[in-house]
Amino acid sequence: MRVVVTGGGGFLGSHLVEQLRQRGDDPFVARRADYDLTRWDDAERLFRDAQPELVFHLAAEVGGIGANRANPGRYWYANLMMGAHVLELSRLNGVGKVVTAGTVCAYPKFTPVPFSEDDLWNGYPEETNAPYGIAKKSVLVGAQSYRAQYGTNAIFLLPANLYGPRDNFDLQTSHVIPALIRKMVAAEDEVVLWGDGSPTREFLYVDDCAEGLLLAADRYDGAEPVNLGTSEEISIRDLAELVAELTGFGGEIVWDASMPNGQPRRSLDVSRAKQLFGFEARTSLRDGLARTIEWYRASLPVAR
Ligand X SMILES: NC(=O)c1ccc[n+]([C@@H]2O[C@H](COP(=O)([O-])OP(=O)(O)OC[C@H]3O[C@@H](n4cnc5c(N)ncnc54)[C@H](OP(=O)(O)O)[C@@H]3O)[C@@H](O)[C@H]2O)c1
Q: Closest approach of Cβ 160 to ligand X, in Å?
A: 7
> What is d(CA 222, CA 194) in angstroms, rounded to the nearest whole number?
39
Catalytic residue among 35, 75, 132, 296: 132
* Contact pick of 2, 19, 25, 31 for ligand X (by CB under 6 A): 31
| Active site (annotated) includes residue 77 | no
DSSP string, 192-223: EEES-S--EE-EEEHHHHHHHHHHHHHH---S
Q: Site residues for ligand X, window 154-213 (CB under 6 A)?
A: 159, 161-162, 168, 175
* Pick 175 or 182: Cβ nearer ligand X: 175
Q: Which of 4, 60, 86, 253 binds ligand X (CB under 6 A)?
A: 60
- Residue 188: how many other CB atoms lie within 10 Å: 9
CB of 113 to ligand X, least distance (A): 17
Listed ranges 35-43, 118-126, 283-291, 295-303: which one lies at the site for ligand X (CB under 6 A):
35-43
Smallest gap from Cβ 57 to ligand X, in A, equals: 7
Smallest CA-to-CA distance from 280 within 235, 221, 227 is with 227
CB closer to ligand X, 29 vs 191: 29
- Per rule CB under 6 A, is residue 71 in the interface with ligand X? no
DSSP 112: P
- For residue 4, list its beta bridge partners: 28, 55
- Smallest gap, in angstroms, from Cβ of residue 38 to ligand X? 4
107, 163 contact by CB (below 8 A): no
With b for 16 or more beta-carbon neighbours within 10 A and e for fewer, the 114-145 pattern comes to bbbbeebeeeebbebbbbbbbbbbbbbebbbe
Give the catalytic positions in this structure.
132
Per CB under 6 A, residues contacting ligand X are 6-7, 9-13, 31-32, 35-38, 58-62, 78, 101, 103-104, 159, 161-162, 168, 175
